[in-house]
Amino acid sequence: MARSVISALSSAVPAPDDDREPIYVTRPELPPLEAFIPSLRKIWDSKILTNSGPFHQEFERKLCEYLGVKHIALFANCTIGLVTALQALRITGEVITTPYSFVATAHSLLWNGIKPVFVDIDPETFNLDPRRIEAAITPQTTAIMPVHCYGYPCDVERIQAIADNYGLKVIYDAAHAFAVKRQGTSVLAHGDLSVLSFHATKGFTTFEGGAIVCPDDKIRQRINHLKNFGFVDEVTVVAPGINGKMSEFNAALGLLQLEGIDKALAKRGAVDRRYRAGIADLPGIRCLKPPADARTNHSYFPILVEAGYPLTRDELYQKFRDHNIFVRRYFYPLISDFPMYRGLSSAAHDNLPVARRISGQVLCLPIYPDLTLKQVDRIVELLRPPKST
Ligand code: T4K
């Protein structure tokens, strides 16, 4: 009796590759649980849980080595990292940014009492269009906050040239840009600061987490004070800091994740290539192409549903859901359309035509290391319009 219940139950659980198994836009890659136990044991034995403990220090060191950057300050998440980066550079007034991102980008400005000024995106890269930045600069502008959207690098040279001309700071929202390189060097080395996310949905995850990449140790020290309430020592507080610290649990997991990251990136690359091969001949579906000199991390696989495809973007989104495939519309709606932003003059409907069009056409297909090529083929098959009889 018990055996028949178990066998009935196990036949109800879809096996991997089963057509009924839901497929999400992403799934985190985790190390075997047993491999994490020794780190947990060390934490339990030492009772050092947070406040820059040994795992935190080692993770900062190893991350710098892996990413090829000089200094890193770990954070509890990217959003607090962005808020702190703006504080560290004493940014005020207006900041030029993109409407085509996750809300955290602009929210970090509002949390600092800064006015976001939205500038349209480039139709090929979906990143802030450098040709449009100068027209948005006013005497109140103090910085530019671009996003390396989907981990595809911004035009960092042109953005830096504008910033230098006008005396502006550049803070990159690099939430998507873990391990991304341009011309063989880390994209995180550009600008004044870059902020990473290690959220569960990112290509490199510590459950929650983030980091600020800094060019020198002086600014890193200031950031470290700010993320620890402003404390410099037991009795000295130099700023109204916040609690942005990463815990030992997340740092220990991060160290383990670093060991498997190259393999995970390679598996993502294979999924990306399979999609591109399958989609190449589909009329009305366009894949975003990374710049030729970039090494991306395949964290997202965005497609555009253009005129010429028999379904609208939202009809296709629904079709996937009907088949238990949970594609996402990153980034729709535009940030500038949310209630706390839409009163801004830069959020005006006609000001952002490219971002508006892309936001209405984009779908992010599932991509993660454990997505099988068979599952990719199934997704591509659903993209094929039914043959007319
Ligand atoms: N800047 C940019 C440009 C960003 O994209 C983000 C975050 C940030 C800043 C802020 O970074 P953090 O402060 O979070 O470090 C997700 C994430 O919550 C968000 O972190 C991310 N961007 C954004 C693009 O996507 P949702 O609401 O779409 O996630 P959710 O919970 O619907 O998850 C999507 C799918 O992922 C699920 O269907 C299944 C899978 N999943 C998710 C979680 C949370 C898992 O398998 N396991 C999980 O634990 O926002």
Query: Would residue 388 count as lying in a domain?
Result: no
Q: Give the domain CATH number at 169.
A: 3.40.640.10
Residue 68 alpha carbon to ligand 1 centre in Å: 26
Residue 346 alpha carbon to ligand 1 centre in Å: 26
Using the CB atoms, write b or e for 82-118: b if 16+ within 10 Å: bbbbbbbbebeebbbbbbbbbebbbbbbebbebbbbb
- pLDDT at residue 388 in the model: 61
- Whole-angstrom Cα distance, residue 367 to residue 384? 19
Residue 283 alpha carbon to ligand 1 centre in Å: 30
Sorted by sequence, the CB contacts under 8 Å of residue 271 that are 6+ apart come out as: 298, 301, 367, 368, 369, 371, 373, 376
Query: Would residue 173 count as lying in a domain?
Result: yes
- pLDDT at residue 21 in the model: 87
Query: Would residue 209 count as lying in a domain?
Result: yes
Query: Would residue 138 count as lying in a domain?
Result: yes
Task: Identify the H or E element spanning 250.
Answer: helix 248-279
**Range of 176's domain?**
33-257
> Does ligand 1 have an atom closer than 6 angstroms to the CB of 147?
yes
Residue 274 alpha carbon to ligand 1 centre in Å: 24
Q: Assess contact for 210 and 219: CB atoms under 8 A.
A: no
Using CA atoms of 294, 97, 70, 66 in order, give the dihedral in degrees to the nearest 10: -40
Instruction: Clarify whether residues 230 and 274 are in a common domain.
Output: no
Query: Would residue 389 count as lying in a domain?
Result: no
Domain end (from 257, 279, 300)? 257
Q: Give the domain CATH number at 349.
A: 3.90.1150.10
Residue 200 alpha carbon to ligand 1 centre in Å: 7
> Does ligand 1 have an atom closer than 6 angstroms to the CB of 84?
no
- Which ligand 1 atom is nearest residue 199's CA? 15
Instruction: Clarify whether residues 39 and 152 are in a common domain.
Output: yes
Instruction: Clarify whether residues 150 and 280 are in a common domain.
Output: no
Instruction: Clarify whether residues 15 and 69 are in a common domain.
Output: no
> Does ligand 1 have an atom closer than 6 angstroms to the CB of 206?
no
- Whole-angstrom Cα distance, residue 326 to residue 328? 6
> Does ligand 1 have an atom closer than 6 angstroms to the CB of 326?
yes
Instruction: Clarify whether residues 23 and 115 are in a common domain.
Output: no
Q: Tens digit of pLDDT per residue, the chain (389 long)?
A: 333 433 444 444 444 555 668 999 999 999 999 999 999 999 999 999 999 999 999 999 999 999 999 999 999 999 999 999 999 999 999 999 999 999 999 999 999 999 999 999 999 999 999 999 999 999 999 999 999 999 999 999 999 999 999 999 999 999 999 999 999 999 999 999 999 999 999 999 999 999 999 999 999 999 999 999 999 999 999 999 999 999 999 999 999 999 999 999 999 999 999 999 999 989 999 999 888 899 999 999 999 999 999 999 999 999 999 999 999 999 999 999 999 999 999 999 899 999 999 999 999 999 999 999 999 999 999 999 877 65
Instruction: Clarify whether residues 272 and 178 are in a common domain.
Output: no
Residue 201 alpha carbon to ligand 1 centre in Å: 5
Instruction: Clarify whether residues 317 and 368 are in a common domain.
Output: yes
Task: Enter the DSSP assignment of 327.
Answer: -
Instruction: Clarify whether residues 49 and 182 are in a common domain.
Output: yes
> Does ligand 1 have an atom closer than 6 angstroms to the CB of 104?
yes
Instruction: Clarify whether residues 175 and 189 are in a common domain.
Output: yes
What's the whole-model pTM score?
0.95
In the structure encoding, which two tokens stand for residue 326, read together? 């949970």
Instruction: Clarify whether residues 52 and 196 are in a common domain.
Output: yes
Domain end (from 207, 240, 257)? 257
Instruction: Clarify whether residues 228 and 283 are in a common domain.
Output: no
* Mutate which of 75, 102, 330 for ligand 1 pocket (most atoms within 8 A of beta carbon): 102
Query: Would residue 268 count as lying in a domain?
Result: yes
The CA–CA distances, whole Å, from 168 to 43, 95, 162, 339 equal 43, 9, 8, 28
Residue 197 alpha carbon to ligand 1 centre in Å: 10
- pLDDT at residue 136 in the model: 98
> Does ligand 1 have an atom closer than 6 angstroms to the CB of 210?
yes
- pLDDT at residue 389 in the model: 52
Instruction: Clarify whether residues 198 and 172 are in a common domain.
Output: yes
- Which ligand 1 atom is nearest residue 147's CA? 3
Residue 199 alpha carbon to ligand 1 centre in Å: 6
- pLDDT at residue 12 in the model: 46
Number of domains in the chain: 2
- Whole-angstrom Cα distance, residue 144 to residue 117? 9
Domain end (from 234, 257, 280)? 257
- Which ligand 1 atom is nearest residue 101's CA? 3
- pLDDT at residue 386 in the model: 72
> Does ligand 1 have an atom closer than 6 angstroms to the CB of 105?
yes
